[in-house]
Copies of this chain bind each other. A is one copy, B any other.
């Protein structure tokens, strides 16, 4: 269970790292929408491994196969199933993991919960299952941009201890497209890359934070009690295995201020609330920061438990990212787009007469 997300725009995820395909079903997407297939491929390319020295060496084309819901290039209103082939599988890489539980990994809890674990490449817990999320998110992004002029952008604002002081004070994040770590400050980007490179050489990994800004979100999106917009964005972000924290606006930092300092006055140019008040968008940019732990898969000998409950020393093989942050960006953006579009559909003016799209 727990493989679907959303109420009026629903994604259902399936697939494992070393099955034939990973996939998604997107239900609730409006009909008669002309799809920009190039943009979908572009988003998938941003996520796929092997793009730069910073990411895993697994090579995947990640070309989406559209199984259903599209006719003559346009959506039909039927559920859209998208498959992505797992080409560069290398099951031998993982045979060592059959009896071993990697530290801070899902291996052991999966065995305990399910018994019959597909251990190849992390199986269902692999980040590979997020590729179809990006394809579905790309569709949501297209729709949001076309009909609402909503733009969603995520950047890396900190790698380990190297970070931008207040990334939300920076209004222009376009520089993030010019470097492989996707940081809007080009000088810091170089330092981040240097740090990742040296971690990689040491067989180690680093984490950091991703900042997200959603502009032009209409006022009034989000439900006031249990389906708050921030609550649903938060739930979506924690769907990414490496996420360990999230904060909106000034978040944890804001708890160091007095109320009188922190309140967003109408003529003060602040956005401490991060664009969401009491669960509802207030017209400001929606801004949040997500904490990603350093990848648990390191190429350094570690203490590990095996299925016989022995603790041994072992060094994991396989192809892993020294830092997932740049590849996580399209995932964060995609889930954000899906949550925002779902909430927009849930908030449509309720006495509107139904008309064709």
Q: Which A residues contact B (CB, under 8 angstroms)?
A: 1-5, 7-8, 10, 12-16, 19-23, 25, 27-28, 30-32, 67-69, 71-72, 74-81, 83, 101, 103-106, 108-110, 112-118, 123-125, 129, 143, 147-148, 158, 160-161, 199, 204-209, 218-228, 230-232, 234-236, 238-239, 241, 244-252, 254-260, 262-268, 272-274, 277-282, 291-298, 300, 302-305, 311, 344-357
Contact = CB atoms under 8 A, between A and B. Distances in A.
B12 A103 contact: no
Contacts of A80: 14
A260 B226 contact: no
B68 A1 contact: no
A161 B78 contact: no
11 contacts: A3-B226, A4-B27, A14-B80, A32-B116, A71-B123, A104-B263, A104-B273, A113-B280, A231-B235, A245-B248, A246-B247
A4 B298 CA distance: 40
A8 B14 contact: no
A117 B260 contact: no
B263 A103 contact: yes
B251 A244 contact: yes
B344 A349 contact: no
A160 B262 CA distance: 12
A222 B239 CA distance: 11
For the complex of A and B, 3 pairs with smallest distance between CB atoms: A2-B223, A2-B227, A245-B247
Given A105-B277, A351-B30, A254 B264 contact: no
Contact of A20 (B30, B67, B293, B345): B67
Contacts of A67: 14-15, 19-21, 23, 83
Contact of A16 (B3, B12, B23, B68): B68
Nearest to A325: B255
Contact of A2 (B160, B225, B252): B225
B346 A265 contact: no
Given A16-B78, A68-B16, A103 B244 contact: no
B27 A25 contact: no
B248 A106 contact: no
Given A3-B79, A160-B255, A350-B345, A109 B239 contact: no
A75 B1 CA distance: 13
B266 A103 contact: yes
A112 to B, nearest CB: 5
Contact of A241 (B103, B279, B292): B279
Of A13, A158, A292, most buried by chain B (CB within 10 Å of CB) is A13
A253 to B, nearest CB: 9
